[in-house]
Amino acid sequence: MKLLITGFNGFVAGSVIAHAKGNWEIHGIGRSENPIDEPGIYYHNLDLQDVQGLSSLFNEISPDAVIHAAAMANIDVCQVNQEMAERVNVGVTKMIARLCSEHDVKMVFCSTDTIFDGIKGDYVETDLPHPLNFYAETKVKGEQIVLAASPINVVARLALVMGLPVIGKGNSFLADMIAKLGKGIEIPFPANETRTPVDVITLGSSLVELAGNQFGGIIHLSGNTKINRYQMGLEIASALGYPINLILSIDSNAMPGRAPRANDASMDNSLAKKVLTTPMRTLAEGLNLTLNFKI
């Protein structure tokens, strides 16, 4: 079985690779140097906006499943670069979905909890999205494209991802947090944002499972702990033995020049617990897992 992963150099993809290797022939697409050199793992340096190159790669590999983890994910950058965000998050997704449909390949699309407006909280898969910023708008469009392309496709809505990079550097707020706390640097966390964080190890295992099982449709990949991000920062700092007074409380929606954020984007993970053998974990369990995970 061949698995194609976009965003091969990214935070989420590193965990996917760790869980897939040995059971899948892994092919990754990225635009920087290859983060891993092991048998059964193949790296393809390619711009995902290269239509011909991507089509040729599909014909060459003939993947059995695709996990589309690549995205332009910085909310504020997307807000001020909307044309680029549309091309990357919508245009590329549309092209990959078309290729997957033409080749009868299952596609697992990584979406986000931020597609919701944050008024209700505890969102289930049937709740309708109401995006507050342009990044979230592009993810809603991506979801619609992927679901319309094939009933075997999966839209995996990811909660706030917590953990340390498994392979490469990735964009880990925990790694950045540890580095700053170690230097005694104060770190702001928004108390107005309530989330259900998922650790990157659980997430990688879940995505690989979804690529290989029979589930199709929308699924929420979130942790068992509902918590605001300031309290999350306090709990992590305390668990790691750092002074909690270095964690500062802010209101992200009161900060000038930033795209609006959902106040309560918490997600219900009941479906994931039914569909997956990978257990969903609490914040403390996920932190312990990511700190001690070995490839």
What's the pLDDT score for residue 37? 77
For a pLDDT cut of 90, what percent of the chain falls above it?
89
- Residue 219: pLDDT band with limits 50, 70, 90: very high
pLDDT of 35 strictly over 70: no
- Residue 31: pLDDT band with limits 50, 70, 90: confident
Sign of torsion over alpha carbons 23, 51, 7, 152: negative
Tens of pLDDT, residues 183-204: 999 999 999 999 999 999 999 9
Q: Is residue 257 part of a domain?
A: no
CATH label of the domain that carries residue 65 = 3.40.50.720
DSSP-derived secondary structure letter, 219: E
Q: Is residue 246 part of a domain?
A: no
- How many domains are contained in the chain? 1
Q: Is residue 234 part of a domain?
A: no
Output the pTM of the full model: 0.95
Q: Is residue 181 part of a domain?
A: no
**Do the beta carbons of residue 144 and residue 181 sit within 8 Å?**
no
What's the pLDDT score for residue 256? 82
Q: Is residue 182 part of a domain?
A: no
Residues of the domain holding 101: 2-163+197-224+264-281
Runs of H (alpha helix) within the chain: 11-20, 51-61, 75-80, 82-85, 92-102, 134-149, 173-182, 200-212, 229-240, 270-275, 283-292
Q: Is residue 39 part of a domain?
A: yes
Q: Is residue 74 part of a domain?
A: yes
What's the pLDDT score for residue 170? 72
Q: Is residue 13 part of a domain?
A: yes
Span between the terminal Cα atoms of the chain, in Å? 21
